[in-house]
Chain A
């Protein structure tokens, strides 16, 4: 399995008196797809935000390839290979679909403070962006503004932007939520293709148990911010805690 590329130790965040993520220690290995499950409000997205830097931990640490990144700003984490696709669609609404992806390609290419060349002259970047759009089957909408896309297409664009960053660690936050049935396979095939590359680390927040069974090598369960189960998909999905969380009475606080 090799050494962990990403590791959280006692990672905790409090909002006022509420502990949203509670001492979560977990290591993630290259070539492994880890599904993170748990009821709504369990802290899954917050855990993602702590890893990719949108939130700062109250205590505990995040390490990337052994390097402590707990206090590092989000842009620098992205440059170190942490790619994130957001759950609530998070795009550049008034820019074209192509430009959304092109901006991600530009960041990946390390074109940072160039104000005297022309963006349109960098055809290599544009072609890469077109390639990523083709991969998520969104090329026919390349000229549309991101804001006018259907919900499913916006999710695809979100994924294309993460692909464009060519990260080592892919963080998918419910990538298929709200997608129509015929769109879901595109995303699932894509995730499988990334997994098949063998050296990428994939974190996947997912509610649909059939998706988890199909893709995951490992499942961890968050409940009220704490890590309550960790193991093979089959055994974790069958465990009492998951049965309670998903099939039993849903927590009133959502």
Chain B
């Protein structure tokens, strides 16, 4: 276990417990929370954990502020979606698409990082914003390939379809069908990627990334060529985001600008990282879980609360399901105010 998490424990008894609960919850999600909606939520949590954690390598560990992370997410998604939409369902298209997406994202991220070699941080952020906007335009306009704003719908190999049965009889009330295979495919890939990221940030390389975040000038004076480190970190984060994007396409059997490329997703990623705690990897995992759960369950939860207080003054209005974004906002403000280093970040500081 210690090797698998690269010797990096969440670092506080409560944080350990939360992460263990998250791991167990996701590992047995089809059995603990059966149902189409909860399966979709669990899959999305897995994918966003990887996406937010890969962004944390940039933001939390290296101190790079990039707004192009969704672009790499989308590159991975299109790299899987395009061959599936054009060539029909095949495992070759999925595996090849994932690998090609990761490679393209890594090269592109490396180029952006190298091109922005000499600019100050704020200008680097602006460049990533411009590149991300450009990618949005390309995705929307290149209709023959990307399907434009409508996106691409495609089918998956039979083993990932709802009609597929591994075992005829349900076990513990769960059907062993293609949806289960899809979930465990997503879960397994995400678990491996998360372990890989833990390894990266705890390696000698990862320590240098932290040194760059702390004091880039000093890292250079010690003999580290920080441009190379930033470039490689960008490429790694982009490749991982691209793989997560491919999983998103598989989950939805669809990909379009709204599902992987929109700026709202970029904002979500930022919130996940900040709420959970920058520079901890576990924090963004928790942040991703909180936000995805809020997106799926805050509205119905408010409906229940609103129904419970029917007849009271003002309260039903306050808990009206349409107010869910307001409550999400209140939650963010409370977390940022009381836990300035994020949930896991603040817990870790208590231990120190």
Contacts and interface: CB of A to CB of B under 8 A. Distances in A.
Interface of A: 52, 54, 73-76, 78-79, 84, 86, 90-95, 99, 102-104, 106-108, 111-120, 122, 161, 165
B253 interface: no
A161 to B, nearest CB: 7
Nearest to B225: A75
Interface in B208-236: 208, 210-211, 214-215, 217-226, 228, 232, 236
Contacts of A120: 7, 202
Contacts of A118: 6-7, 199, 202-203
B215 A119 contact: no
A101 to B, nearest CB: 10
What 3 A-B pairs are tightest by C-beta distance, nearest first? A92-B214, A78-B223, A115-B205
A79 B224 CA distance: 9
Contact residues on B (Cβ < 8 Å of other chain), bracket: 20 to 34
Contact of B214 (A94, A114, A161): A94
Contacts of A86: 218, 221
Contact of A92 (B210, B220, B225): B210
Nearest to A104: B222
A74 to B, nearest CB: 5
Contacts of A161: 222
Contact of B222 (A54, A78, A93, A119): A78
Given A79-B223, A111-B204, A165-B222, 9 more contacts: A73-B225, A74-B221, A78-B222, A86-B221, A90-B221, A103-B219, A106-B208, A118-B199, A161-B222
A112 B217 CA distance: 17
B165 to A, nearest CB: 40
A78 B221 contact: yes
Contacts of A111: 204
A104 to B, nearest CB: 5
16 contacts: A73-B220, A74-B220, A75-B220, A84-B221, A90-B217, A92-B210, A92-B215, A106-B207, A107-B222, A113-B205, A113-B228, A115-B200, A116-B200, A118-B6, A122-B204, A165-B223
Given A79-B223, A165-B223, A119 B218 contact: no
A119 B202 contact: yes
Contact of A95 (B7, B214, B228): B214
B206 interface: yes
Contact of B224 (A84, A112, A116, A122): A112
A103 B207 contact: yes
Interface of B: 6-7, 199-200, 202-208, 210-211, 214-215, 217-226, 228, 232, 236
B206, B211, B223: most-surrounded residue (chain A CB, <10 A) = B223
Contacts of B214: 91-95
A100 to B, nearest CB: 8
Contact of B207 (A90, A99, A165): A99
A107 B224 contact: yes
Nearest to B201: A115
B7 A103 contact: no
A74 B221 CA distance: 6
B216 to A, nearest CB: 10
A101 B215 CA distance: 14
A74 B207 CA distance: 20
A54 B211 contact: no
Given A106-B204, A122-B204, A92 B7 contact: no
Contacts of A106: 204, 207-208
Given A116-B203, A119-B204, A95 B211 contact: yes
Report which residue of B200, B204, B207 has the largest number of chain A beta carbons within 10 angstroms of its beta carbon: B204
B199 A103 contact: no
A136 to B, nearest CB: 17
Nearest to B200: A115
A119 B207 contact: yes
A214 to B, nearest CB: 27
B207 A115 contact: no
A200 to B, nearest CB: 18
Contacts of B220: 73-75, 78
Given A115-B200, A119-B206, A90 B215 contact: yes
Contacts of A95: 210-211, 214
B30 to A, nearest CB: 32
A95 B204 CA distance: 14
A175 to B, nearest CB: 15
